[in-house]
Structure 1
Amino acid sequence: MISQYLLEEFESQVPVTRRFLERLPGDSLTWKPHPRSLTAGQLAYHLAFVPGGVVRGAQQSQISPPAFQFPQPASVLEVLETFDQSVATVREVLPGFDDAAMNATWRIVDGDKEIAAMPRVAFLRNIMLNHWYQHRGQFCVYLRLLDVAVPSSWGPSADERSALQPEPQPA
């Protein structure tokens, strides 16, 4: 089943994303690398919110163009609680899509104008997962600029070994 495949991938990335979010220093929530950038807190909140928000949008056959709002969290705990709620939402909603629903056309419509149309699975793959990964990579740069140790993800970072990378053996 398509939804199970996506859920398995999502579940493998949940602990990785949590490690990134947990590294956000509480005193850096309003820091940003450039005047046009989101604050570290806004980006972390977006990273926490995306999966649950996207899967909720996928429950409908069409939505209006999203209003991109980036709330400024008051604490890292708020970000982590948002992440936990988002993960719970994906775990609840995603398994409810059978293959017919995953292959059905999903749309973004602005009045009478169709902005996008794609199979629901493409929306979930591109926005719930790929979009999420893209923002995690962006957040990685924020952590580096804040001089915070960057967690490993698919491979090692300059600060951590990957689970796939063996520990060096003593000589």
Structure 2
Amino acid sequence: MSLAESIFTEFDIQAPITRIFLERLPESKLTWRPHERSMTAGQLAFHLARVPGGVVQAVQQNPVQAPEFAMETQPTSVGEILETFDRSVVTVRKVLLAYNDDSMRETWRLMRGDEELLAIPRMQFLRDIMLNHWYQHRGQFSVYLRMLDVAVPASWGPSADERDPGQGFRWVHRPALVA
């Protein structure tokens, strides 16, 4: 298995799980936020939707200029979030598997003007930001759902909302998204 296939396999398992989280956001709670300095539920969901495709597109350039980090866009509907997520998944599928092992090991650079901010293997950036950063925000989003009294989906194992009390622990595995 190539390095890109390895990352893609993990992504392909996690993408449908993330979509389930996004589908649970009530349309009426898009502008809700747990704290004045927090993103709204819609902004956080939109960030979850955009991260994979945006990251995999960014690493196509080397070096790349660091983006200006501003507050995420406020979506107008859950449908907009899900459409963005679906496009993001398609982008990952198109771009990620095109990388060979040499390009995954290549030092990838993030710049601000002429200043180098980061120089790491492309594969590490994809794992750190496209996957780990994404999971961190999915965990954050699960807290938003809990605070909104929305059933939190299972991710790595059963959630308190989807556990069958008489069955004990059962591993949860979601099927991959349909291509």
Question: Taking structure 1 as the reference length, what is the TM-score of the superposition?
Answer: 0.94
Deviations along 1:29-86, one digit per CA (max 9) or x if unpaired, are 0000000000000000000000000000011111111122400000000000000000
Shift of 1:163: 5.6
Residue 153 of structure 1 corresponds to: 155
Alpha-carbon distance in structure 1 between the residues aligned to 2:151 and 2:78: 16
Shift of 1:119: 0.2
Letter in 2 for 1:28: K
Deviations along 1:68-113, one digit per CA (max 9) or x if unpaired, are 2400000000000000000000000000100000000101111221
| Correspondence for 1:113 among 98, 112, 115 | 115
Instruction: Determine whether 1:127 maps to 2:129.
Output: yes
Alpha-carbon distance in structure 2 between the residues aligned to 1:112 and 1:58: 18
Does the residue aligned with 1:106 lie in a helix, a strand or coil?
Answer: strand
Shift of 1:143: 0.2
Which residues in structure 2 correspond to 1:58-137 (within 5 Å)? 58-69=59-70, 70-137=72-139
Alpha-carbon distance in structure 1 between the residues aligned to 2:97 and 2:153: 29
Letter in 2 for 1:155: G
Residue 48 of structure 2 corresponds to: 47
Alpha-carbon distance in structure 2 between the residues aligned to 1:5 and 1:34: 37
Alpha-carbon distance in structure 1 between the residues aligned to 2:100 and 2:170: 33
Once the two structures are aligned, what percentage of the paired residues are identical? 61
> How many residue pairs get matched?
165
Deviations along 1:108-140, one digit per CA (max 9) or x if unpaired, are 111221100000000000000000000000000
Q: Which structure 2 segments of 5+ residues have no match?
A: 164-168, 173-179
CA RMSD of aligned residues (A): 1.1
Residue 35 of structure 1 corresponds to: 36
